A and B are shown apart, each in its own frame.
Chain A
Amino acid sequence: MITVEHLTKRYGPVAAVDDVSFTVEPGHVTGFLGPNGAGKSTTMRMICGLTPATSGSARVLGKPFTALSNPGRRVGVLLDAAAQHSGRTGREVLTLAAMMTGVDRARIDSTLDVVGLTQREAARRVGQYSLGMRQRLGLASALLGDPEVLILDEPANGLDPAGIRWMRDLLHDFAGRGGTVLLSSHLLREMEQVADRLVVIGRGRIVAQGTKEELLRQAGAFVRSTDDAALAEALRRADVGVEALTTGGLAVEAEPLDVGRAAAAAGVVLAELRAADSRGLEELFLELTADDARESATVHTRQEVPA
């Protein structure tokens, strides 16, 4: 369980994180989404007590992270897989973590197995590791203390497709046993598959949160008729947002029933009418964060999303 309340971090006049509140429930994988620089990592560092918050609070398992005694046994944290001493071996990294958390060193071998690092790889220096191997080592480090909560920043970064799939299963499994998982990622396809709840952040503010189904369900309707132009005109007169799609048909910001009524009133013959498709996470992400994205000039914003 992670509770974030009105968390704010200012660097001078810039609010990197601005009044962010959300909860991460046990038994679920909660995805933390946002463009680069949106404040994901800063928020996660504040949750872990590494970055002092300007205001607001974050609690993990009911306490501020820094008040947990032996936090490595309660919360597994991976904030930056590259942040390991390049001169240490993978095994030594885990040995130090085992000493600090007081877990039996026998767990090192079993945890290496879990993350798929061989004994030979563990004997090599971290400096020779690929990013994918560092991610596995970082995850091993997080899992070593048999925690109840996982906080992972971009853990899929650098993993190959098989590795990503493996991690997805691991996190599902962890959450399925009642664990709490908060992970950030910019790999939307992976996030769509692993997370069942989402928190979307843009320019330091939460722009959406909820279950994946809720967020991906799209309001509105798709309609095709014998005279799209006339129908569009009729809908616009009724103050309904309409967009003509290049592939034919109209995307309408209204329920199918209302579209049908408008069509009947205008005397337009309908060829197809249905609720809008559930959109992909990528589409949602781009819509929600369009204002903040560096590529905003090229992003086509179609509609405002109700908060």
Chain B
Amino acid sequence: MTATTPAAQAPTRSAARAGAEVRPLTFATLTLVEWRKQLDTRAGRWLLAVIALITAGVLAVMVAVNGGNHSFSAFLVATSTPMAMLLPIVGVLAATSEWSQRTALVTFTLEPRRTRVGIAKVVGAIGSGLALLVLAVGLAALAHLVVVSFRDADPAWDVTAQNVAYLAISVVLFMAQGVGFGLLLRSTPAAIVTLLLMPTLFGIVGGLVPGLADALPWIDLGTAGEPLLFGAALDAQGWAQLASASAIWVVAPLVGGLWRVARSEISSS
């Protein structure tokens, strides 16, 4: 049965095709592969199914209670909140599964430029996040349309382009952060716990140490990022605070994670 190998039909292997036929892997393809890897596993699909179920559940409850009288923005908050909580996990898994499932060995032999793979993971994760954001906006609009049409709710199409743009920025930050922590810690539980505990911890510390209250917006992404979720337009200081907190909690772990991947040994154990 071995004689049927297609390679057998190409007796002059190396010289003839070495240069011409072998195209290098483009970044677009690599990103597409990394994006697909987020969705083609059982864990990845479950995660998305859970997000969808929670979102649907929340919408159903909102349509039912209070006469269904909720604005578009209230619906969007409801659809985007479970996503915002679970999305970083998509990013984390995109990175950590290479180690927990030991696929790094294969990934980095097919593409030895490891930093490129890491960046493709970030872009792929952001793609997933933005796709889900579009879905969240769509579902919220649909839900609002339903209550307006069938439950006589007051129409309140109060979501501005700026709201959506801010949400998109937060999605980008969440996903990059998830991948960054995943690459840095290489352990799904450790990365998720760190991501979830961090804001809480900062809230507690900020509450306990009065002097820190002023500094908090500069160093805590939760505080600095609050306006992104249906807050007022950010002023110059707001942007500066967001940039500063993002540098600490998104850029630094991501750079550290990429650096670690590029430098470290990839082994199966």
Contact-residue size bin, chain B (C-beta under 8 Å from the other chain)? 35 or more
Chain B positions 1 through 13: 1 when the CB is less than 8 Å from some CB of chain A, otherwise 0: 1111111101111
Q: A71 touches which one: B40, B43, B110 (CB < 8 A)? A: B110
| Contacting pair B23 A170 (CB below 8 A) | no
CB distance from B159 to the nearest CB of A (A): 36
In the assembled complex, the Cα of A48 lies from the Cα of B32 at a distance in Å of 24
| Contacting pair B11 A178 (CB below 8 A) | yes
Known: A79-B105, A80-B102. A146 touches B25 (CB 8 A): no
In the assembled complex, the Cα of A111 lies from the Cα of B5 at a distance in Å of 7
| Contacting pair B41 A85 (CB below 8 A) | yes
| Contacting pair B1 A65 (CB below 8 A) | no
Known: A114-B5, A143-B5. A99 touches B33 (CB 8 A): yes
Q: B8 touches which one: A66, A113, A177 (CB < 8 A)? A: A177
Interfacial residues of chain B within 202-218, with CB under 8 A of chain A in the complex: none
In the assembled complex, the Cα of A77 lies from the Cα of B104 at a distance in Å of 13
| Contacting pair B11 A96 (CB below 8 A) | no
Q: A101 touches which one: B37, B101, B108, B110 (CB < 8 A)? A: B110
Q: B266 touches which one: A45, A96, A146 (CB < 8 A)? A: A45
**Does B30 sit at the interface, judged by CB under 8 A?**
yes
Q: A99 touches which one: B18, B36, B43, B44 (CB < 8 A)? A: B36
Q: B25 touches which one: A70, A110, A111, A114 (CB < 8 A)? A: A70
**Does B162 sit at the interface, judged by CB under 8 A?**
no
Known: A51-B267, A65-B112, A71-B112. A83 touches B25 (CB 8 A): no
**Does A50 sit at the interface, judged by CB under 8 A?**
yes
B residues near A61, Cβ cutoff 8 Å: 14, 18
**Does A10 sit at the interface, judged by CB under 8 A?**
no
Interfacial residues of chain A within 122-170, with CB under 8 A of chain B in the complex: 125, 141, 143, 146, 148, 166, 169-170
B residues near A99, Cβ cutoff 8 Å: 29, 32-33, 36
| Contacting pair A173 B6 (CB below 8 A) | no
A residues near B12, Cβ cutoff 8 Å: 178
A residues near B109, Cβ cutoff 8 Å: 48-50, 65, 71-72, 75, 77, 79
B residues near A71, Cβ cutoff 8 Å: 109-110, 112
**Does A37 sit at the interface, judged by CB under 8 A?**
no
B residues near A45, Cβ cutoff 8 Å: 265-267
Known: A50-B105, A66-B112, A125-B42. A178 touches B13 (CB 8 A): yes
Between-chain CB contacts (< 8 Å), 29 pairs: A41-B267, A50-B267, A52-B263, A61-B18, A69-B24, A75-B109, A79-B105, A79-B109, A79-B268, A83-B102, A83-B268, A85-B101, A87-B41, A92-B40, A97-B110, A99-B29, A99-B32, A100-B110, A100-B111, A101-B25, A101-B110, A102-B23, A116-B1, A143-B5, A146-B7, A148-B13, A174-B7, A177-B11, A178-B12
**New contact pairs (6) apart from A83-B104, A173-B5, CB-CB < 8 Å:** A73-B22, A79-B105, A87-B41, A99-B32, A101-B110, A146-B7
Which residues of A are in contact with B by a Cβ distance under 8 Å?
26, 41, 45, 48-52, 61, 65-66, 68-75, 77, 79-80, 82-88, 92, 96-97, 99-102, 107, 110-111, 113-114, 116, 125, 141, 143, 146, 148, 166, 169-170, 173-174, 177-179
Which residues of B are in contact with A by a Cβ distance under 8 Å?
1-8, 10-14, 18, 21-25, 29-30, 32-33, 36-37, 40-44, 97, 101-106, 108-113, 263, 265-268
